[in-house]
Amino acid sequence: MNAMSPGLGHNQPPDDPDDPEFLTRLQARLDPEDKQIFDRLAELEVGQGQIPDPLPSEAVAARAVSWVAQCRLAEAEIKKAHKKNKSPILALGRWIDARYLRRVEAFNRDVVNPIEARVRRFRQAKADAQRIAEEEARRKAAQQAEEAAAAAANRRREAQLAEDAGNRRGAVALTRQAEAAQAEADKQDALAHMPDQPVRIEGEHGATAYAVKRWTFYVADPETLPARFWMPDETAIKDEMNRQIAEGKDPTIPGVSFTLEEDTRIRRC
Model pLDDT for residues 167-226, shown as the tens digit of each residue: 999 999 999 999 999 999 999 999 999 998 888 888 888 888 888 888 899 889 888 888
Residues 84 and 133 in one domain: no
Instruction: Verify that 127 and 110 share a domain, yes or no.
Output: no
Say if residue 269's pLDDT is above 90. no
Kindly state the average pLDDT of the residues 58-64.
Answer: 92
pTM recorded for the entire structure: 0.53
**How many domains would you assign to the chain?**
3
| Helical segments of the chain, H only | 22-48, 58-107, 113-164, 168-192, 234-246
- Pair (23, 103) in one structural domain: yes
Do 93 and 65 fall into the same domain?
yes
Stronger pLDDT, 63 or 19, i.e. the higher one: 63
Work out the pLDDT band at 10, boundaries 50, 70, 90.
very low
Residue finishing a domain among 159, 192, 225: 192
Q: Tell me the C-alpha to C-alpha distance, in Å, between residue 188 and each of 1, 142, 153, 180.
A: 74, 6, 16, 12
Distances (CA, A) of 86 to 26, 35, 80, 147, 257: 12, 17, 10, 81, 50
Same domain flag for 137 and 224: no
